[in-house]
Amino acid sequence: MEIRRLELFYLRMKLRDEFRTSFGSVQERPVVLVRVEEKGGEEGWGELVADHGPWYSYETYDTSSTIIRNFIAPIVLQREIQDVYDFHAAVSRIRGYPMAKTAVEEALLDLYGRLEGKSIADIVGGVRKEIVSGVSIGIKRSIDQLVSEVETRLEEGYRRIKIKIEPGHDVEPVKAIRDRFGDIPLQVDANGAYTLRDMQVLRKLDNYGLLMIEQPLAWDDLVEHSILSRKLTTPICLDESIKTLGDLLVAYKLGSCEIVNVKPARVGGILRAKEILETAARLGIGAWIGGMLETGVGRAFLVALASHPAVNYPNDISASDRYWEEDIVEPPWKLTSNGTLEVPRQKGIGVEVRTDLIEKSLVEKWSATK
Ligand code: OSB
Ligand code: MG
């Protein structure tokens, strides 16, 4: 693949509702889309999911897009990238910045798929026709508001509910949801907000038959999670703590988690995510695909990964209208009557990128040519 142009589109997209986690709140997401174009004119699209601030990880849309501009784009434009494995080898000199690498890798994969007539699901070894869609619900102003949102999402057909928790907002909301909706598939995500000193609360949460507790302890910890995991019956799922395949192997040896939330942007790419899925399956670790409030572009890659046979829990991949008034892809991602999303089999990401809508939210554009 001879890439002749790499472009970044900086957009500002308003979320339909505020999304609050233990590490902060988002109302408007800075979206950076990557477009690559090869010498024959074919294109590929990817998405940078880094947020305004270094809260979920150290990456921000600003620092990571600078890494793309100054270091990744020159690599892609100056040497011939044979395939996406070649891209990974070439960018391995850059330490860290998995979100920046993922954004460009996605664009190259989409391009490769379009050139070869393969879907992203084909490329990652996906086998399912549809994937199970769960929904992630942020921290609300009141328990009533939360319960009413859960009701709406269940009516829409979502197959599993995840709520965000933090100290002071944990047992009470879980109890309220159980009291109102009974034994629905329910899990919680703390984004690292607790410590082992919070055992009392964590033990209480353990009594609610949750599918899992996601990232209860520090974002970079594996040891304390292994201690906690021995004290709880609810499975521990790790998100932030698993940044590489090596982390997953250490977590396995230590017994830090029973389940892993696989996000391509956190582990440095779609192919890295595929490796982690395959290893999780081999080790008997449960797996599902997480999200980062993606637009329809990033969502396409999540759907493709979720069609992998190693995925055995519902995913944080909701329909476009859960976050966006108007998504930037056609067709937008739609929930089926089964609470699933269909896996496209057309070449590349399988949805059209609406450049007219990109223009509407565009703040800045950057491009580099060979
Ligand atoms: O921890 O899974 C998380 C969103 C932004 C940052 C971190 C997380 C999330 C979500 C939302 O939970 C998942 C989604 O619907 O995209
Ligand atoms: Mg999480």
80 pLDDT band, cuts 50/70/90, is confident
At 335, the pLDDT band (50, 70, 90 cuts) reads: very high
At 366, the amino acid letter reads W
101, 140, 162, 263: the catalytic one is 263
Does the pLDDT at position 331 exceed 90?
yes
Does 221 sit in the ligand 1 pocket, CB within 6 Å?
A: no
How are beta strands 329-330 and 286-289 bridged, if at all?
unpaired
pLDDT of residue 82: 82
Q: Which domains does the chain have, with CATH numbers?
A: 3-117+351-369 (3.30.390.10), 122-342 (3.20.20.120)
Q: What is the mean pLDDT of residues 323-347?
A: 97
Task: Please give the Cα distance from 22 to 165 (Å, whole number).
Answer: 7
For residue 45, the model assigns a pLDDT of 98
pLDDT at res. 79: 80
Q: Residues 164, 175, 243, 370: which is the catalytic one?
A: 164
Tell which one of 31, 56, 136 to mutate to probe ligand 1, the residue whose CB is within 8 A of the most ligand atoms: 136
Q: Tokens standing for 281?
A: 């399956």
The pLDDT confidence band at residue 185, using thresholds 50, 70 and 90, is very high
Beta-strand pair 362-369/213-214:
unpaired
Q: In sequence order, which residues have a C-beta less than 8 Å from that of residue 173 and are 6 or more positions away?
A: 143, 146, 163, 165
So what's the pLDDT on residue 304? 98
Q: What is the pLDDT of residues 24-73, one digit of tens each?
A: 999 999 999 999 999 999 999 999 999 999 999 999 999 999 999 999 99
Rounded CA-CA distance 333/244 in Å is: 29
Query: What letter does residue 362 receive in the DSSP assignment?
Result: E
Tell me if 213 sits within 8 A of 205, measured CB to CB: yes
ipTM summary value: 0.98
Q: Is 164 a catalytic residue?
A: yes
CA dihedral angle for residue 161, residue 167, residue 172, residue 177, rounded to 10 degrees = 0
Give the contacts of 273 (CB within 8 A, at least 6 positions apart): 124, 262, 263, 264, 267, 289, 305
Structure tokens belonging to residue 328: 């930037």
Q: Which atom of ligand 1 is nearest to the CA of 323?
A: 15
Instruction: Categorize the per-residue pLDDT at 265 as very low, low, confident or very high, splitting at 50, 70 and 90.
Output: very high
pLDDT at 81 exceeding the cut of 90: no
Does ligand 1 come within 6 angstroms of the Cβ of 291?
Answer: yes
Average pLDDT, the chain: 97
- The first and second tokens of residue 184, run together, are 């629905």
Strands 352-353 and 329-330: antiparallel
Question: pLDDT digit string (tens) for 8-23?
Answer: 999 999 999 999 999 9
* HSE-up of residue 1 (Cα within 13 Å, Cβ side): 31
CA distance 96 to 262: 17
- The environment of the single-atom ion ligand 2, i.e. residues with CB closer than 5 A, is 189, 214, 239
Q: Could you tell me the pLDDT band of residue 278, with boundaries at 50, 70 and 90?
A: very high
Q: Where are the alpha helices (DSSP H) in the chain?
A: 61-67, 73-78, 84-91, 98-116, 120-124, 143-156, 171-181, 199-205, 223-231, 245-254, 264-267, 270-283, 296-306, 355-361
Q: Which of 8, 166, 27 is nearest to 73 (CA)?
A: 8
What number does the ligand 1 atom closest to the CA of 291 have? 16
| Cβ of residue 191 lying under 6 Å from some atom of ligand 1 | yes
Would the CB of 320 count as within 6 Å of ligand 1?
no
Any ligand 1 atom below 6 A from CB of 316 = yes
Q: How far is CA 198 from CA 168, 204, 278, in A?
A: 11, 10, 34
pLDDT band at 165, cuts 50/70/90? very high
The answer to whether 106 touches 123, Cβ cutoff 8 Å, is no
Bridge partners of 163, per DSSP, are 137, 188
Give the lowest-confidence range in 71-80, 184-193, 206-215: 71-80
Q: Alpha-carbon distance 370 to 79, whole Å?
A: 9
